[in-house]
Amino acid sequence: MSRLPTPLPSPPLSSGGYLPAECSVTEWVEIYDYAGGVRFRGFVTRKGVEVTLFIFFDQGVIGKDLKHGLMALLELSGSSDFDCSRLVVCLDRSSDTEDLKDLTRDLGWVGFELTTLEDWAGQKNCISDTWLFLAIDV
């Protein structure tokens, strides 16, 4: 796992806006799951006392065996190193439709629910054309 400090100021959102002052990216993460043969990249945000781990499931991840990697992500997000209250997975919308549908269903069985970026961006109904967001409380 790689952890790098965040450059200041926080990076812009894809909508062209910036994260509100009360919400910042605190760490970047890159996690390798050697069992599943995938790499996860993401970041940790802090808004007040709430800490959230965002992980991107790009085309190189969707359609692969994610069982061990997902278990590790859930454990990591709840560990004392991160102490997150939520884990948000960001699914690449340009992935194979059937693989994306299957993964969304499987994550729903685990307890993930669709979410928007409203809590972090400070804007109503903030979604992405590129990513589909699912969250779970840790």
Q: Which residues pair with 44 in a beta bridge?
A: 27, 53
pLDDT on residue 13: 45
Question: 3-state DSSP helix/strand/coil percent for the chain, to nearest 5?
Answer: 20, 35, 40
Question: How much is the pLDDT for 3?
Answer: 45
The pLDDT value given to residue 21 = 59
Digit-coded pLDDT (tens) for 42-94? 999 998 889 999 999 998 899 898 999 999 999 999 999 899 999 999 999 99
Average pLDDT over residues 2-15: 45
pLDDT at position 104, please? 95
**Model confidence at 11, in pLDDT bands (50, 70, 90)?**
very low
Distance of CA 52 to the CA centre of its chain: 8
Distance CA 74, CA 17 (A): 29
Residue 4: pLDDT band (50, 70, 90) is: very low
pLDDT value for 9: 44
Q: What's the rounded mean pLDDT across residues 6-12?
A: 45
Output the average pLDDT for the chain. Answer: 85
Distance CA 26, CA 79 (A): 16
The pLDDT-based confidence of 19 (bands split at 50, 70, 90) is low
The CA distances from residue 74 to 79, 126, 138, in Å, are 9, 25, 7
C-alpha–C-alpha distance, residues 39 and 36, integer Å: 9
Closest CA to 107 of 72, 73, 74, 134: 134
Nearest to residue 89, comparing CAs of 135, 47, 120? 135
